[in-house]
Structure 1
Amino acid sequence: TPDMFGDDLTPPCGHCGPCDRISRDAHADIKVIDPHTPMRGVSSGTRESTLEQDARRTLISIDHIREMQHDVHLNPFEGGRRVIIFDGADRMSPDGTGWNALLKTLEEPPEQVIIVLLAPSAESLPQTVISRCQLIELHAIPRAEIEQGLIEQGGADPDNAAQLARLAGGRPGRAFAALKDETTIDRYQQAVLRVLATSAGDIEDRFRYANEMAREFSRNRDMVSRELELWTSIWRDILLLKHEVTDSVANIAWTEHLGRVATAAGDDDARIAIEAISKAAEGLRRNGMPRVVLEVLMLELPTIPSGIVESIELGEADESSDGSWDAPAS
């Protein structure tokens, strides 16, 4: 049975020519579109300023859709299909022009084209779009399978594989990316320290953090999203430890410190925190003002005892992260 490109249908090996080109975003028949995708013919001057403009863009624009509408009518180069992937389809321009343009293609896509829309949930997309698509739910991969894959395919030692599998939150790609980047764990540790220090800080500390994250949001939306995932993961672990459920803790290296927070926390603190973080994440997805959304979050989050944070080495806690580490998913 042939695959969509006309080749024999076999599991991906990760080493052949097509696998290599896909991993490098260099496959002629596969195009991934996200807010940072460069747009042909759109320039702000120098190459450096154009690259910076692409990096700062937070939404998929109508220009991305117009380019896609041109590309879908090109014949496949390597096989029998062209594949267009919208990574972050929920981040379409809020004025509706992008969706309206995309609907025309979704209604009558060219026969040789497959369009994939990636989004956190079906609810984050317009109903008019959902009705024209086949819904495929992607579930988290069991931790044990990721751990085994890291050892057998990635050559990781068992201890490192176990930690990375927990931090991946069911996403193998994150685990393998972290395995290749030796600095990932260090940046993750710094981010946890930053979250705990902010949680124990006064209102000035919290607003300072909110303002820093709001500025970062304009440059790197994904980094802020991952930071909020980490907040959720930490408070989820606190909730589990509050009820003495230790085998499902994601931030395993921080069990002792989070356990002390859980002991001191009120019965409803973790629930309040998780709900506040979820509301803030939704506010940012809906293009709320980042500074306002994040300052409200800082006001709503419970405070943890400062003594717990003071017992941790904070030398690197205030160093900024470049956002390339991945938070464990809850």
Structure 2
Amino acid sequence: MVRWICLGFRTSCFGFTVTNWRLIGQDNIVAFLAKSLENGNLCHAYLFSAPEHSGKTALAIRLAQTLNCIGSDPPCGVCEPCRRIASGIHSDVQVIGLAVNDEGKSKTEVTIEQIRAINHASSMPPYEGKCRVFIIEEADRMSTGAANALLKTLEEPPPNVVFVLTTSRENLVPETVRSRCVKLKLASAPRTEISQYLEKDLGFSAERAGLLARLSQGRAGWAIIAAADDAVLAERKENLDRFAETLESDFDFRFELAARLATRFGKSRVEIYRMLDQWLSFCRDLLLIKLDINDEVVNTDYMAALERLSSRVGTTEARSIIGSLSNTRQYLEQNASPRLALEVLMLGLPLLGGSLKKSG
């Protein structure tokens, strides 16, 4: 059951514009949240869902700033509370993600200890602001114990406390938790808006901004990260070159690669998921070329390689590769044996010769 709470104060958003929130492509959600704030009430819990790097946490931070802003046009971004929240040092706003173990590696779940800590903190009144906000990232990764512990607090929410859960896999968030949240699905940001922001606000060339906007597939956060960090595109190139090499290789190479990737998966799942997503994007483009829908191709910097591959792979085979990649990702998410899942993938990929790696 969703509960609506009176915050005990009214946030002055009557003259608000969506530009205050500085989010690309999320005007409708911002308007919805601002309307709730204008009325002086808000739900005690929200579930923001969207693909990775789509702006979920950024939206949650803007909401926290708006709730605690002391400027005349919240979120002003310049008052002391807004700046402290943006810097991650405001005592009433906490972002909870995957815990880190003693070796400095991320754990695979949000733990019950983390949830118990925020349950305790939520029972206390705000220390320096108007409202406590707890942002739980990757809510689908909560352990069973953590989800049950959070559920108790969601059922009887304390006053002046808002929980924001974020996820890229809403279906994996327990239904008991989902049913107690207002569910908001972030929109896919228009390619033109992302490109314009990168070009006009960040100063990138029109060509680079256009490429990043395409590659982002509506994820503004990804585009901004990739624009600032060359390692993002370098990793993508390595992954796509590896895919081309795999298609050209024999089964001995493929099984060795599957073993290496399975070991890597045990250390960093997100890297393997990202690799599979990039392989999937590449093969989606391959199918689009086979169907003569070139305008929708995402990996335009790999057009030459895609056209070479298109001449050697049929439409049915392209669909089959896409299915194999999608199934492999799903199996890994369902905790199948990483090595077995990846070996099955390698067996399902076509055996090709020649050179596909050259991007130009």
Residues in 2 aligned to 1:260 and 1:16: alpha-carbon distance in whole angstroms: 55
Residues in 1 aligned to 2:132 and 2:153: alpha-carbon distance in whole angstroms: 14
Q: 1:67-100 deviations in whole A, cap 9, x for unaligned?
A: 221222233344222222222111222xx22221
Gaps of 5+ in 2: 1-11, 14-65
* Counterpart check, 1:307 vs 2:354: yes
By how many angstroms is 1:266 displaced?
2.1
Local SS of the residue matching 2:184: coil
Residue 197 and residue 104 in structure 1: after superposition, are their counterparts in 2 closer, same or farther (change >3 A)?
same
Is the CA contact 1:265–1:304 (under 8 Å) kept in the aligned structure 2? no
Gaps of 5+ in 1: 39-48, 314-330
By how many angstroms is 1:136 displaced?
0.4
* Counterpart check, 1:239 vs 2:287: yes
Amino acid at match of 1:57: K
Residues in 2 aligned to 1:15 and 1:187: alpha-carbon distance in whole angstroms: 36
Local SS of the residue matching 1:85: strand
Is the CA contact 2:94–2:133 (under 8 Å) kept in the aligned structure 1? yes
Local SS of the residue matching 2:182: coil
Residue 165 and residue 16 in structure 1: after superposition, are their counterparts in 2 closer, same or farther (change >3 A)?
farther
By how many angstroms is 1:243 displaced?
0.8
Local SS of the residue matching 2:134: strand
Local SS of the residue matching 1:83: strand
* Match in the other structure for 2:215: 167
Residues in 1 aligned to 2:86 and 2:263: alpha-carbon distance in whole angstroms: 31
* Match in the other structure for 1:156: 204
Residues in 2 aligned to 1:20 and 1:197: alpha-carbon distance in whole angstroms: 48
Amino acid at match of 1:308: S
* Match in the other structure for 1:76: 126
By how many angstroms is 1:15 displaced?
6.8
Residues in 2 aligned to 1:265 and 1:72: alpha-carbon distance in whole angstroms: 57
Structure-2-length-normalised TM-score: 0.75
* Counterpart check, 1:227 vs 2:227: no
By how many angstroms is 1:150 displaced?
0.5
Local SS of the residue matching 2:296: coil
* Match in the other structure for 1:323: none
* Counterpart check, 1:107 vs 2:155: yes
Local SS of the residue matching 2:123: coil
Residues in 1 aligned to 2:256 and 2:310: alpha-carbon distance in whole angstroms: 25
Amino acid at match of 2:354: G
Local SS of the residue matching 2:136: strand
By how many angstroms is 1:173 displaced?
1.2
Amino acid at match of 1:312: K
Local SS of the residue matching 2:196: helix
Residues in 2 aligned to 1:12 and 1:306: alpha-carbon distance in whole angstroms: 57
Residues in 2 aligned to 1:23 and 1:289: alpha-carbon distance in whole angstroms: 40
By how many angstroms is 1:134 displaced?
0.8
* Match in the other structure for 2:187: 139
* Counterpart check, 1:127 vs 2:180: no
Residue 124 and residue 256 in structure 1: after superposition, are their counterparts in 2 closer, same or farther (change >3 A)?
same
* Counterpart check, 1:67 vs 2:67: no
* 1:315-326 alignment, distance < 5 Å: none
After superposing the two structures, state which structure 1 stretch, 134-143 or 69-78, moved more. 69-78
Local SS of the residue matching 2:294: coil
* Counterpart check, 1:192 vs 2:255: no
Local SS of the residue matching 2:95: strand
Q: 1:36-68 deviations in whole A, cap 9, x for unaligned?
A: x34xxxxxxxxxx72x24x24111122222222
Is the CA contact 2:304–2:358 (under 8 Å) kept in the aligned structure 1? no
Residues in 1 aligned to 2:81 and 2:300: alpha-carbon distance in whole angstroms: 37
Q: 1:158-184 deviations in whole A, cap 9, x for unaligned?
A: 111111111222111111111111333
RMSD: 2.4
Residues in 1 aligned to 2:78 and 2:266: alpha-carbon distance in whole angstroms: 37
By how many angstroms is 1:120 displaced?
2.3
* Match in the other structure for 1:33: 96
Is the CA contact 1:232–1:274 (under 8 Å) kept in the aligned structure 2? yes
Residues in 1 aligned to 2:76 and 2:268: alpha-carbon distance in whole angstroms: 32
* Match in the other structure for 1:271: 319
Local SS of the residue matching 1:136: strand
By how many angstroms is 1:192 displaced?
1.2
* Counterpart check, 1:87 vs 2:150: no
By how many angstroms is 1:17 displaced?
5.6
Is the CA contact 1:140–1:169 (under 8 Å) kept in the aligned structure 2? yes
Residues in 2 aligned to 1:243 and 1:216: alpha-carbon distance in whole angstroms: 35
Residues in 2 aligned to 1:98 and 1:175: alpha-carbon distance in whole angstroms: 32
* Match in the other structure for 1:316: none
Residues in 2 aligned to 1:13 and 1:247: alpha-carbon distance in whole angstroms: 40
Is the CA contact 1:56–1:218 (under 8 Å) kept in the aligned structure 2? no
Q: 1:58 aligns with which of 108, 111, 115?
A: 108
Amino acid at match of 2:350: T
Q: 1:265-310 deviations in whole A, cap 9, x for unaligned?
A: 122222222222222222222222222222222223x32632132x
Aligned length: 296
Structure-1-length-normalised TM-score: 0.81
